[in-house]
């Protein structure tokens, strides 16, 4: 009987519709509702008197669903984040990053046999093509490591033409073995490429991967070993970084993940798609947010300056970083975990002075009506920058510590996109407000416009500019 009632409810749900009345024509339209969404293509039946189709306008995709996914779930109002149904709190406490990566990509937690084989495959692919060493060594000493890694990821596609749909056929990723090969290579090589970028940045020779160490330990080994024959990272540091990797592994359709799906829709190879996603993550509004928090706390300087800073924020004279989120309207569940990790790090390496400023700023903001009314709660970026700084990571490495774990989420969405028959090449529409058809005007008959075409000139051009003007 219960089953019959459930089927009845499902049938009623499928019959739900949205009634739209067009005031221009007086016509009514019934738009089917499924999963609390309507298909944008159903709006095409609504036309004006000239036959022009109505479009939905949504800059920034504030209220647009562009895929069906089973990877992660966010309830922003209640501060819930789940990977494949598992609460982030449980995964951070009980799991490891590589286990979570397996979960995200394949949908279930691995058995011991699967996990051991998975880890071995990933570790094997920490060894990268020799040409990448040469490529990374050619960057300037002051090149930003994120730029180096993005370029290197893109270059990987040229080293494996057999994995490029443009060269080897559009259906090569339909073969699960071929797809798995790229997954192993991508997750394995990203730590090596990042370590190479870091070592080049500080003028040191690269370290080869250590096959006896775990994923995070090996990453730290490649970054930090000097000439020790038995160097191993501190277990607390490795564990903290492993948990941070879990927290950053996936977060639904953010800017960089959407970029993966967008690029994948064209049929481009996975390495180019991941490089594009990393480029999106490079932006200060996305992967650079924790660095912005750090600079904000440094600018505040001391706890005594916080009240004035708060007033400046309210009066639009200062920006508050690390608070609020596009999705979360309550406390970011990841931020609670990161806050606990911060104390573990400080117990090991000493307390960073910025933590006192951060704690006081958080305390004031959480009890201030201005911030509560606007749902401005600490997000995951608020404490991660402080942790990375305490552990000695340069600020320009922060986006990379975000990118390494996020690759598993990107790969999960890549696989899901490939398997979803509903997906097509991404081609949004525009609201054109430019000129209508006009005739070409010969150059000697054109009027001067107010287009500003000047660009800044460096001091290196001073002598040349003077000489050219003489």
Taking 60 as the threshold, does the pLDDT of residue 1 lie above it?
A: no
Beta carbons of 105 and 97 less than 8 angstroms apart: no
Task: Please give the pLDDT value at position 9.
Answer: 53
Average pLDDT, the chain: 90
Please report which residue ranges of 251-332 form alpha helices under DSSP H. 255-264, 270-281, 289-300, 306-314
For residue 434, is pLDDT > 50?
Answer: yes
Q: What is the DSSP string of 225-268?
A: --S-SS----HHHHHHHHHHHHHHS--SS-HHHHHHHHHHTTT-
127-179 residue pLDDT tens: 999 999 999 999 998 899 999 999 999 999 999 999 999 999 999 999 999 99
The predicted-structure confidence for 259-300, as pLDDT tens digits, reads as follows 999 999 999 999 999 999 999 999 888 887 778 888 899 899
Q: Which of 129, 144, 160, 286 is catalytic?
A: 286
Catalytic residue among 262, 325, 332, 413: 325
**pTM of the shown model:** 0.89
111, two tokens: 């058995």
| pLDDT value for 410 | 98
- Catalytic residue status for 381: yes
Q: In what helix (H) or strand (E) does residue 29 lie, and over which residues does it extend? A: strand 28-32
Is the predicted pLDDT of residue 13 greater than 80, yes or no? no
Q: Of 217, 242, 269, 381, which one is the catalytic site residue?
A: 381
pLDDT of 470 reads 61
Give yes or no for residue 419 having a pLDDT over 60: yes
7 pLDDT higher than 70:
no
Q: Which helix (H) or strand (E) holds 21?
A: strand 17-21
Model confidence band, residue 14 (pLDDT cutoffs 50, 70, 90): low
Amino acid 235: pLDDT:
97
184 counts as catalytic: no
């Amino acid at each position: 009987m219960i089953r019959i009632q459930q089927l009845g409810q499902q049938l009623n749900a499928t019959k739900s519709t949205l009634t739209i009345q067009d005031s221009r024509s007086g016509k009514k339209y019934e738009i089917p509702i499924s999963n609390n969404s309507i298909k944008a293509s159903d709006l095409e039946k609504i036309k004006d008197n000239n036959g022009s189709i109505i479009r939905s306008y949504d800059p920034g995709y504030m209220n647009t669903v562009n895929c069906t996914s089973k990877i992660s779930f966010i309830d922003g109002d209640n501060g819930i984040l789940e990977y494949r149904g598992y609460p982030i709190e449980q995964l951070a406490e009980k799991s490891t990053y590589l286990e979570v990566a397996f979960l995200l990509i394949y949908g279930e937690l691995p058995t011991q046999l699967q996990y051991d084989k998975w880890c071995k495959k990933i570790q094997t692919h920490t060894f990268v093509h020799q040409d990448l060493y040469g490529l990374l060594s050619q960057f300037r000493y002051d090149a930003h490591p994120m730029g180096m890694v993005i370029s290197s990821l893109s270059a990987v596609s040229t080293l494996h033409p057999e994995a490029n749909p443009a060269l080897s056929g559009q259906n090569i990723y339909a073969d699960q073995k071929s797809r798995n090969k790229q997954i192993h290579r991508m997750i394995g090589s990203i730590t090596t490429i990042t370590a190479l970028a870091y070592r080049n940045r500080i003028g040191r020779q690269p370290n080869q991967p250590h096959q006896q160490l775990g994923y995070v330990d090996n990453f730290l080994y490649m970054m930090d070993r000097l000439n020790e024959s038995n160097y191993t990272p501190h277990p607390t540091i490795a564990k903290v970084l492993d948990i941070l990797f879990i927290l950053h592994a996936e977060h639904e359709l953010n800017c960089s993940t959407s970029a993966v799906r967008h690029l994948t829709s064209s049929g481009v190879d996975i390495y180019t798609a991941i490089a594009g996603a990393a480029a999106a993550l490079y932006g200060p509004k996305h992967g650079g947010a924790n660095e912005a928090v750090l600079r904000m706390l440094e600018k505040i300087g001391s706890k005594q300056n916080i009240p004035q800073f708060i007033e400046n924020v309210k009066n639009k004279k200062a920006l508050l970083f690390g608070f609020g989120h596009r999705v979360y309207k309550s406390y970011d569940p990841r931020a609670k975990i990161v806050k606990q990790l911060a104390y573990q790090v400080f117990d090991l390496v000493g307390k960073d002075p910025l933590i006192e400023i951060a704690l006081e700023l958080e305390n004031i903001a959480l009890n201030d009506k201005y911030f509560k009314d606007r749902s401005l709660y600490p997000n995951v970026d608020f404490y991660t920058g402080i942790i990375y700084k305490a552990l000695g990571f340069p600020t320009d490495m922060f986006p990379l510590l975000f990118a390494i774990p996020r690759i598993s989420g990107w790969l999960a969405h890549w696989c899901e996109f490939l398997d979803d028959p509903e997906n097509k090449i991404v081609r949004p529409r525009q609201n054109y407000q430019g000129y209508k058809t006009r005739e070409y005007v010969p150059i000697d008959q054109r009027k001067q416009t107010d287009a500003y075409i000047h660009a800044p000139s460096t001091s290196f051009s001073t002598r040349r500019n003077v000489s050219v003007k003489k």
